[in-house]
C-alpha cells in the first residue's frame, strides 16, 4: 500500500525515527533501575538460602529477576531477592531492607512507584466493577435488555 506524497526514503526515515525513540525509551527504563548488588545485600544482613529441592528451584525461577520482592510467611514480612543462576535467594527482614534502601534510595523510590501504580490500577478496577454491577442490575431488571418491539422489527 502506498501513501500519496510519501517517498520510500521518507518512509524509511520515519521508521528509523520510531525505532530510535523506542530504543531511547527502553534504554532510559533500563538505566532507571540499577541492578541489585548481592554483596550490598550481604553487608546489610540479608542471608543466603540455597534451593535444594526441585520445588524450591522452580519458585526461584518464577520470581522476577533483578527485583527485591516483599513476601509474607507465617505472619512475618520478608524481603527476597532471587539469584536463579546460582539456585539461591537472599532473604532479609524489614530492618535489613530499611538498611539497604537507606544506602540505595532509588530502590525505595522504584518500590513506591510500583505501589502507587498498583493502587491506581486497583481504584480503576473498582470504578469499572461498580459500573458493571449497575449495568448488570439494569439488564437483569429488563427482560428485553432495553430493546423495544420496534427494535425487534415486529
pLDDT in tens, 98-145: 898 888 777 666 666 667 777 777 777 778 778 888 877 776 666 665
Whether residue 23 is contained in a domain is answered as no
Cell numbers 480503576 label which residue?
124
Whether residue 127 is contained in a domain is answered as yes
Residue numbers of the domain that contains 131:
105-140
Tell whether 109 and 72 lie within a shared domain.
no
Average pLDDT in the chain: 76
Q: What is the pTM of this model?
A: 0.51
Whether residue 154 is contained in a domain is answered as no
Cell numbers 520482592 label which residue?
69
Q: Tell me what pLDDT residue 30 has.
A: 46
Tell whether 70 and 117 lie within a shared domain.
no
Q: Tell me what pLDDT residue 67 has.
A: 86
| 3 state SS for 105-149 | HHHHHHHHHHHHHHHHHHHHHHHHHHHHHHHHHHHHHCCCCCCCC
Q: Who has greater pLDDT, 50 or 12?
A: 50
Tell whether 117 and 64 lie within a shared domain.
no
Tell whether 134 and 76 lie within a shared domain.
no
Tell whether 70 and 97 lie within a shared domain.
yes
Q: Tell me what pLDDT residue 149 has.
A: 65
Q: How far apart are CA 28 and CA 44, in angstroms?
A: 28
Phi, psi of 76 (to 5 degrees): -110, 145
Q: Tell me what pLDDT residue 84 has.
A: 87
Phi, psi of 141 (to 5 degrees): -80, -20
Number of domains in the chain: 2
Exposure pattern of 4-29 as b/e (b: 16+ CB <10 Å)?
eeeeeeeeeeeeeeeeeeeeeeeeee
| Element of type H or E holding 72 | strand 69-73
Is the pLDDT confidence value at 8 over 80? no
Amino acid at each position: 500500500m502506498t501513501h500519496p506524497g510519501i517517498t520510500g526514503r521518507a518512509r524509511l526515515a520515519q521508521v528509523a525515527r520510531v525505532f530510535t525513540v523506542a530504543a531511547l525509551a527502553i534504554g532510559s527504563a533500563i538505566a532507571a533501575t540499577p541492578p541489585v548488588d548481592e554483596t550490598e545485600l550481604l553487608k546489610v544482613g540479608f542471608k543466603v538460602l540455597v534451593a535444594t529441592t526441585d520445588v524450591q528451584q522452580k519458585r526461584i525461577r518464577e520470581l522476577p529477576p533483578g527485583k527485591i520482592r516483599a513476601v509474607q510467611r507465617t505472619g512475618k514480612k520478608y524481603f527476597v531477592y532471587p539469584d536463579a543462576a546460582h539456585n539461591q535467594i537472599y532473604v532479609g527482614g524489614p530492618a535489613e531492607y530499611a538498611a539497604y534502601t537507606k544506602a540505595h534510595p532509588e530502590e525505595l523510590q522504584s518500590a513506591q512507584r510500583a505501589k502507587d501504580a498498583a493502587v491506581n490500577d486497583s481504584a480503576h478496577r473498582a470504578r469499572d466493577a461498580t459500573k458493571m454491577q449497575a449495568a448488570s442490575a439494569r439488564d437483569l431488571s429488563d427482560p428485553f435488555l432495553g430493546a423495544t418491539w420496534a427494535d425487534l422489527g415486529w
